[in-house]
A and B are shown apart, each in its own frame.
Chain A
Amino acid sequence: MKKMSKIAVAGLAALAILVLPACKTNRKKIDPVVTPPVQETTAPEVAAPPVSTDTEVQEPDDFVRETTPPEDVRPTEIEALNRWAQERGHVRDAYFTYDEATLDGAAQDALQSSATWLKGEGSGYNVLLEGHCDERGTEQYNLALGDRRANTAKDYLVTLGINSGRIRTVSYGEERPFDEGHDDSAWAKNRRAHIVLVQAR
């Protein structure tokens, strides 16, 4: 099993390298995928926050603020798990273009690798999909647009074999940007369907 999953990961990494250069915003997300597989297999299932040498991953403080784990979980553990899964590239967010809710190749690729992990090592977790928008829209329409983005990502995960009962959605519109900046780079990061792992009940 482990051998197969390594092959799958390596294959996805290769695919990601082929596909992703077209999407500038996703480059930072490639790095965790191509870290040596040995690191992945030795990591504990629910790890203490790993000391990352990758300077390009998001600031931990940002990430803690953005996630809203439900009340029935132990927050420190699930937050560490989410950080770890994102850093390792086990789950990868889907990014969108301006005023769009359709999945381009890079977004599909991110969700495919996420689905692979969620069906395997991550099968014990449920998913909260958060729809986010950049600030260059209006607050009220963006809440609706974020709802569509989250559900577009959910529908794709379901077609990839994830049980729809495992996935909930929420739209934050432009209310909770990942990057507070006001330039193309910040806006690109803020248009996403963000995967949050939650404990299955």
Chain B
Amino acid sequence: MTIAFLVVTATATAQDITSTMSADQAAQVVRIAVPFPELRPIGAAATAPVNSEEVRQGFFGPLTRDIAYSGIMAIAPVPPSVPVTSELLKSIQAQFHLQLNVWTEGQEYVVEAWLVDQSGAAQLKKRYRAPATALSRTAHMLANEIVKTLNGRPSVFLSQIAYASNRSGNWEIWLMDWDGANQRKITNHGVLSILPSWSPDNERMVYTSFARGTSDMYIISRRGGERTRVNSRLSLNTSATFSPVSNDIAFVGSVSGNPDIYLIKDDSSNVRRLTTTGSIESTPEWSPTGRQISFTSGRSGTPQIYVMDAEGTNVRRISHDGTWNDDATWAPDGERVAYTSRVNGRFQIRIANLITGESRIVAGEGSNEQPTWSPDGQWIAFQSNRNGRWQVYRMRTDGRDLLQLTFEGENKGPDWSKKPE
């Protein structure tokens, strides 16, 4: 399925890719001409034949999709077989021309990119060397440089999404690029491993695994390899999440069937209990400053979302609609929280503004759960069963530009990396 998807989308030309934009956004976007790369060095003959389909699927497709989804750029269609000149750029109302040259040297691709404005001045010059398997990474790196050049801020194109997948026969922790490419298995427990959560430096993940027969927390590098168990000496050990500012991990621990929110250091020391009610507490999530923690509690009779200070004080309820709310997660701005909210018998993603108190549903088919914000706050990844089985999707925070990211087996519990680069 994944392969078919990649073929279909990658063979689309740049002109075919459009991102729906509001009128405000459309007025602000930079139009950029992106013809298919010349498959040779500038002003020289190709030294070896270049597989144009590999360049299209591995590089040009991801690059043009990133540009189209950037929110700050739109692709200006270029007539075929016409040299891109300043006059042409003006006639198609393009402010920039991205001149691309791609060729091979030995086992590697060389990618050269010039971002040229209407006056002919190069605003960005980049050269990359990469094996064929890293062409899409090259595309994301180049697209990120273009966004930084135009916007002064990094994009989300280099961010990663962690999730759980059962496609290997067991639930394991997997990673993928922001566009669903490069899906790869990180853990190899051979049992039930779920609920990955990124460290603030994008280097590690903490997750829950039943490797010892009961549920425990483990930390693993994003490159895989050795895992470390975080030993709380409590039961449950689920929903673990790194503090954005310290080496604390918030998690759900349980003593005698009373699940509460606890903190623990990532070296298994200094366990602290934050909630003390007899009701069920679950699903802690740090605010971006690390000063507050949201969580789910059944203290009112149904699961609802609450926020407390990171010391466990000053608890207040923030969800008021729906009979089952869970999975709260903070936007990078610290003002908005997305969570899963049961509406008319189905779960939907709800985004609440903590300052105004207003909330709205981002409507979708099926049940939609476990939202996670992109590091720039523009996108939300989540799981949906709208096509029968749990898969991970991505959409803008207002529901536009929906894209299914996973197709093999079942996939759930996405967590978007915290830093853009």
Provide the bound-state CA to CA distance between A68 and B369, in Å: 28
A175 touches B194 (CB 8 A): yes
Contact partner, A140, options B192, B258, B296, Cβ 8 Å: B296
Contacts of B281 in A (CB 8 A): 144
With contacts A68-B213, A99-B302, A138-B324 taken as known, whether A144 is within 8 angstroms of B236 at the C-beta atoms is yes
Shortest CB distance B78–A (Å): 47
Query: Which of chain B's residues 278-309 have a Cβ closer than 8 Å to chain A?
Result: 280-283, 296, 298, 302-303
In the complex, identify which listed stretch (A32-40, A112-120, A145-153) lies at the interface while the others stay far away: A145-153
A169 touches B327 (CB 8 A): no
With contacts A139-B369, A143-B238 taken as known, whether A151 is within 8 angstroms of B282 at the C-beta atoms is no
| Listed residue (A138, A147, A172) with the most chain B CB atoms within 10 angstroms of its CB | A138
A144 touches B280 (CB 8 A): yes
A144 touches B195 (CB 8 A): no
Q: Is A137 an interface residue (CB 8 A)?
A: yes
Contacts of A63 in B (CB 8 A): none
A169 touches B238 (CB 8 A): no
Contact partner, B259, options A70, A138, A147, Cβ 8 Å: A147
Residue of A nearest to B195 (CB): A140
Q: Is A155 an interface residue (CB 8 A)?
A: yes
Q: Is B215 an interface residue (CB 8 A)?
A: yes
Q: Is A194 an interface residue (CB 8 A)?
A: no
Shortest CB distance B409–A (Å): 14
In the complex, identify which listed stretch (B108-116, B150-158, B249-257, B398-406) lies at the interface while the others stay far away: B249-257
Interface pairs A-B: 9 shortest CB-CB = A151-B257, A138-B326, A144-B259, A144-B282, A140-B283, A143-B238, A141-B326, A148-B257, A144-B280
A143 touches B214 (CB 8 A): no
Q: Is A86 an interface residue (CB 8 A)?
A: no
- Give 16 A-B contacts (CB < 8 Å), ordered by A residue: A68-B213, A70-B213, A138-B296, A138-B324, A138-B326, A139-B369, A140-B282, A140-B327, A141-B282, A141-B324, A143-B215, A143-B252, A144-B282, A152-B257, A171-B235, A175-B192
Residue of B nearest to A170 (CB): B214
Q: Is B239 an interface residue (CB 8 A)?
A: yes
Shortest CB distance B229–A (Å): 16
Provide the bound-state CA to CA distance between A101 and B278, in Å: 13
A138 touches B238 (CB 8 A): no
Shortest CB distance B349–A (Å): 12
Provide the bound-state CA to CA distance between A154 and B255, in Å: 13
Provide the bound-state CA to CA distance between A99 and B296, in Å: 14
Contact partner, B280, options A141, A170, A175, Cβ 8 Å: A141
A139 touches B252 (CB 8 A): no
Contacts of A172 in B (CB 8 A): 192
Residue of B nearest to A145 (CB): B280
| Listed residue (A101, A141, A145) with the most chain B CB atoms within 10 angstroms of its CB | A141
A171 touches B258 (CB 8 A): no
Q: Is B58 an interface residue (CB 8 A)?
A: no
Q: Is A6 an interface residue (CB 8 A)?
A: no
Shortest CB distance A145–B (Å): 6
B257 touches A147 (CB 8 A): yes
Q: Is A168 an interface residue (CB 8 A)?
A: yes
Residue of B nearest to A173 (CB): B238
Shortest CB distance B240–A (Å): 11
Contacts of A170 in B (CB 8 A): 210, 213-215
With contacts A141-B283, A175-B192 taken as known, whether A147 is within 8 angstroms of B370 at the C-beta atoms is no
Provide the bound-state CA to CA distance between A176 and B369, in Å: 18
Q: How large is the interface on B (under 10, 10 to 19, 20 to 34, 35 or more residues)?
A: 35 or more
A147 touches B236 (CB 8 A): yes
Q: Is B340 an interface residue (CB 8 A)?
A: yes
A168 touches B369 (CB 8 A): no
Please give the residue numbers on chain A whose beta carbons come within 8 Å of chain B beta carbons, in ascending order.
Answer: 68, 70, 99, 101, 137-141, 143-145, 147-148, 150-152, 154-155, 168-172, 175-176
A137 touches B213 (CB 8 A): no
A138 touches B258 (CB 8 A): no
Contacts of B340 in A (CB 8 A): 138
Query: Which of chain B's residues 126-165 have a Cβ closer than 8 Å to chain A?
Result: none
Provide the bound-state CA to CA distance between A168 and B412, in Å: 28
B303 touches A138 (CB 8 A): yes
Shortest CB distance B344–A (Å): 13
Q: Is B347 an interface residue (CB 8 A)?
A: yes
Q: Is B171 an interface residue (CB 8 A)?
A: yes
Provide the bound-state CA to CA distance between A140 and B261, in Å: 13
Contact partner, A150, options B213, B238, B257, B298, Cβ 8 Å: B257
| Listed residue (B195, B236, B327) with the most chain A CB atoms within 10 angstroms of its CB | B236
Contact partner, A138, options B213, B215, B256, B369, Cβ 8 Å: B369
Q: Is B180 an interface residue (CB 8 A)?
A: no
Provide the bound-state CA to CA distance between A150 and B235, in Å: 12
Contact partner, B257, options A138, A154, A175, Cβ 8 Å: A154
Residue of A nearest to B323 (CB): A99
Residue of B nearest to A152 (CB): B257
Contacts of B239 in A (CB 8 A): 140, 143
With contacts A137-B324, A151-B257, A155-B257 taken as known, whether A144 is within 8 angstroms of B192 at the C-beta atoms is no
Q: Is B413 an interface residue (CB 8 A)?
A: yes
With contacts A139-B194, A140-B282, A175-B194 taken as known, whether A147 is within 8 angstroms of B214 at the C-beta atoms is no
Provide the bound-state CA to CA distance between A141 and B191, in Å: 21
A148 touches B194 (CB 8 A): no
Provide the bound-state CA to CA distance between A176 and B258, in Å: 21
Query: Which of chain B's residues 362-421 have a Cβ closer than 8 Å to chain A?
Result: 369-370, 412-413
Provide the bound-state CA to CA distance between A68 and B190, in Å: 12
Provide the bound-state CA to CA distance between A134 and B87, in Å: 64
| Listed residue (A140, A148, A154, A155) with the most chain B CB atoms within 10 angstroms of its CB | A140
Contacts of A141 in B (CB 8 A): 280, 282-283, 296, 298, 303, 324, 326
